[in-house]
Amino acid sequence: MTLKFGLANILNENTGNVSGNVSTTMFGVYIVTIKDIAKACGVGVSTVSRVLNNKPDVSEAVREKVLEFVEKSGYIPNNSARDLVKSSSDAIGVIVRGMGNLFFSSILKTVSTEIDKSDYTMVLHFIDSGEDEVKAGAVLEREKKLRGLIFLGGRYDYSPEELSIIGVPYVCCSYSNSFGTLDEKSYSSVTIDDYLTAYNAVKHLINLGHRRIAALVPACCDRSVSQLRFNGYKAALKDSGIEFDESLVMETGGIYGLNEAYEGTKALIERDAAFTALFTASDSTAIAAMKALEEKGRRVPDDCSVIAIDGLNISHYVSPTLTTMVQPADEMGRECVKILLDILEGWGENRHVRLETALREGGSVKSI
Amino acid sequence: MTLKFGLANILNENTGNVSGNVSTTMFGVYIVTIKDIAKACGVGVSTVSRVLNNKPDVSEAVREKVLEFVEKSGYIPNNSARDLVKSSSDAIGVIVRGMGNLFFSSILKTVSTEIDKSDYTMVLHFIDSGEDEVKAGAVLEREKKLRGLIFLGGRYDYSPEELSIIGVPYVCCSYSNSFGTLDEKSYSSVTIDDYLTAYNAVKHLINLGHRRIAALVPACCDRSVSQLRFNGYKAALKDSGIEFDESLVMETGGIYGLNEAYEGTKALIERDAAFTALFTASDSTAIAAMKALEEKGRRVPDDCSVIAIDGLNISHYVSPTLTTMVQPADEMGRECVKILLDILEGWGENRHVRLETALREGGSVKSI
């Protein structure tokens, strides 16, 4: 029986707002105390306490009576006393690197909700895309006495020495350590296969007849997600016998900025490269790229197809609807919290989860 | 002198990773202890502690020497000891109502960053748009022993009785109590003037020659932001001698959903109402509405102008660029935290801040 959030009533032992009898008030919120429950059920306060704390030595009839009343009244247990005797903190740190990334908003909500469901508390900290999430995590760990950490976004090239300043279990959410030297057993990660997802996106374009395919990525060699996706792009070209053409690649800088993508696409067009399709590393940069294409007189998809990776909700509603590889954001958030809780509770060890992506066809890609 | 986040080094007294001399390691992160500082400066540990805690009885020369070394080494003070002697919690609760609202993402980052800069800790809780933020706040207040609350989104019609379950100071962020009965002195709020902003948006359309102006809003009479903006729409029509036409109004339901806006706009067009412009209550619903207009063969802005309220970054990059009334999201977040901290520190009392909005002209509106 869960008696936590979403119930109608609030127990309030301290404010003095105690109703002797439980009754609907004019504003629809009850105040119920453990004494009210005891009185209403005709038992002692300690008996109610035993029932609420799932202790033995209470008759089944009394237990049922109390629980039934509690359910009806919507009593919410006060955890303060329990908190006070806890010897260690219940804090899980979440470091969000780059809130401009719309993909992170949806994951963050899931991560927060899942931590709420547990007995832990989320301590959130935002940093900019260029900042060091590991140092931010180490500081947060000390300041808030964290039990564990979730990094929402980060570098792909950690060394064991760098990560030695993190003294609690941690999960890399939406990224892994592809370019680093961490022992797999020393950390956890939940990601998509960035390389394969980019490969499949570009393959989709090739299957529709495209051979002059441009790439708009933050960086080709940043030892991070962008490099993995760029490598997937190159591999797809190679496997189809299409020669790699450097003039079709535009690097926009590290932070998936909308304006950088918009300006980058314009610059790509001004190079006079005759591309028929554009692969972009994220949905939001694809939206900015489509804007630049349109302003330069290239209709999407008639003059140029555009494909991306993310699957944001807003991408359904831009014109044309964006064709994109969907990352399972909710599942990603849930898995991260699950792994961390398993470790903290001693139920599991570090592990690495790769989630599948799926093509969502919109109107931004056509065959030629 | 601030020595908190963003510095290069981590003090770590507990892990044993202590370097006797401060030196660059192969991975670019130093571990510096208070003992290291004392040794390097040729003073005792207690002297260093006095300097770091701004205590008197240290000679100016020693103080300068220690601070200079500290600045160079990037020592980060360990607040754990201070935390342990604190008698009350340092938690500020932030309840986000409807994370689907992209406008909230940017405010949330600012709120988080501003709370980080203070000595308080943010405890974040997400609820869905339909949930009760007051009850969620009351539960969070008890569970996390909050010192204060920021509600990011909420109802506009609180009664004093309803809010009596909140026992700490709170700030309504992005909304006020226009339809409620709260004493102004009992709470704080930071909002735009929703009525006036909608009024100005519709006036802009009227000034460009539009008279058949449709409205796409979650609800006309929800005693909330939507009703205020709808009232602003109606007032602008009235002041310009344009008769209100119910058939030009589409209510999409309470949560500013993209799909609801998309379907609502389609239904509006199917009614065969000959509108030349559309006023929408938010940027994201405007984007969905433009999609529906386009799919129904109505070009924006040639066949129909579209104006909204929010000023999201992504709205710059949709086609056509959305014309919208910009809410100052950063300023809103900063003001909320400032008000709450002022109250918690005894520097100020409850107050109400109304922020200005500004028209950002895009390409979705034209004169007729």
Res. B363: pLDDT tops 50: yes
pTM for the whole structure: 0.76
B258-302 pLDDT tens trace = 999 999 999 999 997 789 999 999 999 999 999 999 999 999 999
Q: Are B143 and A6 inside 8 Å of each other by CB?
A: no
- Between residues B62 and B355, which one has the greater pLDDT? B355
* Residue numbers in B near A15 (CB within 8 A): 167
Q: Does A143 lie at the interface with B, CB-CB under 8 angstroms? A: yes
Q: Which pLDDT value is given to residue A119?
A: 82
CB pairs under 8 A between A and B: 158
Average pLDDT, chain B: 85
Q: How far is CA A132 from the centre of its chain?
A: 18
pLDDT digits (tens, 9 = 90+) for A145-199: 999 999 999 999 999 999 999 999 999 999 999 999 999 999 999 999 999 999 9
The CA distance from B172 to B305, in Å, is 33
**Bond prior to B77 in cis (omega within 30° of 0):** no
The pairs formed by B225-231 with CB atoms below 8 angstroms and a separation of 24 or more are: B225/B156, B225/B175, B225/B194, B225/B281, B226/B254, B226/B281, B227/B156, B227/B179, B228/B156, B228/B178, B228/B194, B228/B195, B228/B198, B229/B194, B229/B195, B229/B197, B229/B198, B229/B281, B229/B309, B230/B198, B230/B281, B231/B195, B231/B198
Q: How far is residue B37's CA from residue B66's CA, in Å, rounded to a whole number?
A: 7
Confidence band, pLDDT 50/70/90 cuts, at residue A83: very low
Nearest Cα residue to B293 out of A319, A289, A363: A319
B122-144 average pLDDT score = 90
Is the model's pLDDT at A52 over the cut of 70? yes
A123 touching chain B per CB within 8 A:
yes
Distance CA B7, CA A129 (A): 16
Find, in chain A, the residue whose alpha carbon is nearest to that of B15.
Answer: A167
Going by pLDDT thresholds of 50, 70 and 90, the confidence category of residue A41 is confident
- Residue B88: the pLDDT is 58
Residue tagged 């719309």 (tokens): A102
Radius of gyration of chain B (CA): 26
Enumerate residues 302 to 361 of chain B having a beta carbon within 8 A of any beta carbon in chain A. 313-314, 316-319, 321
Average pLDDT over residues B358-368: 97
Q: Can you read off the two tokens belonging to residue B219?
A: 């609800």
A130 at B interface, C-beta within 8 A: no
* Rounded distance between C-alpha atoms, residue B289 and residue B262, angstroms: 5
What residues in A contact B164, CB-CB < 8 Å? 17
What pLDDT, on the 0 to 100 scale, is given for residue B128?
Answer: 86
User: Between residues 259 and 278 of chain B, which touch chain A (CB distance below 8 Å)?
Assistant: 262
pLDDT digits (tens, 9 = 90+) for B46-84: 788 778 777 777 888 888 888 887 766 655 544 433 333
**What is the pLDDT, as a whole number, of residue A19?**
34
pLDDT at A24 over 60: no
Q: Judge: A319–B316 Cβ closer than 8 Å, yes or no.
A: no
Residues A350 and A342: their CA atoms lie apart, in Å, by: 9
pLDDT of residue A28: 29
Q: How confident is the model at residue B20 (pLDDT cuts 50, 70, 90)?
A: very low
Short-list A142, A152, A45, CA closest to A94: A152
Among all chains, which residue has been given the structure tokens 């929800």?
A: B222
Residue type, B102: L
- Res. A74 pLDDT band, cuts 50 70 90: low
What pLDDT does A72 receive? Answer: 67
* Residue B171 CB partners (closer than 8 Å, separation 6+): B148, B149, B150, B151, B187, B188, B189, B190, B336, B339, B340
**Cβ–Cβ < 8 Å for A289, A306:** yes
Check residue B254 and give its pLDDT: 66
Query: In percent, how much of chain B has pLDDT > 70?
Result: 86
pLDDT at residue B4, as a whole number: 31
Chain A residues lying within 8 Å of B25, measured CB to CB: 161
Which is more confident, A315 or A129?
A315
**How sure is the predictor about A103, in pLDDT bands with cuts at 50, 70 and 90?**
confident
Cα B195 to chain center, whole Å? 19
Instruction: Tell me which residue in A83, A116, A319 faces B125 most closely, judged by beta carbons.
Output: A116
| Least confident piece of the model among A1-5, A322-326, B94-98, B211-215 | A1-5
Least confident segment among A143-147, B50-54, B215-219, B356-360: B50-54
**Ramachandran assignment for B6, one of left (phi > 0), alpha (psi -120 to 50 degrees), beta (any other):** left
pLDDT attached to residue A32: 59
**pLDDT tens, A267-276?**
999 997 789 9
Written as six digits, the tokens of A67 are: 């629980």
Among the partner residues A80, A105, A124, nearest to B122 by beta-carbon distance? A124
Query: pLDDT tens digit string along A246-293?
Result: 999 999 986 788 999 999 999 999 997 789 999 999 999 999 999 999
The pLDDT score that the predictor gives to residue B16 is 33
Residue A121: count other Cβ atoms within 10 Å of its Cβ: 23
- More confident: B56 or B124: B124
Q: Report which of A313, A231, A239, A341 is spatially closest to residue A279, judged by C-alpha positions.
A: A231
**Hey, is the C-beta of B136 within 8 angstroms of any chain A C-beta?**
yes
Asked if the ipTM is above 0.85, the reply is no
Interface test with A, best of B25, B109, B111 (most A CBs within 10 A): B109
Among chain B residues, the shortest Cα distance to A7 is held by B135
pLDDT-wise least confident of A99-103, B58-62, B217-221, B300-304: A99-103
Which of B124, B144, B287 is best to mutate for the A interface (most A CBs within 10 A)?
B124
User: For residue A8, what pLDDT is reported?
Assistant: 30
- CA B250 from centre of chain: 28
Spatial separation of the C-alpha atoms in residues A281 and A255, rounded to whole Å: 11
Distances from the Cα of B240 to the Cα of B207, B235, B236, angstroms: 9, 9, 6
Q: How confident is the model at residue B32 (pLDDT cuts 50, 70, 90)?
A: low
Question: Which site among B84, B165, B295 would you substitute to test the A interface, given the most A Cβ atoms closer than 10 Å to its Cβ?
Answer: B165
More confident residue, A241 or A77: A241
pLDDT at B61: 87
As a whole number of angstroms, the distance between CA B47 and CA B69 comes to 14
* pLDDT tens figures, A221-238: 988 899 999 999 999 999
User: Cβ of A290 and B79 within 8 Å?
Assistant: no
Spatial separation of the C-alpha atoms in residues A233 and A250, rounded to whole Å: 13
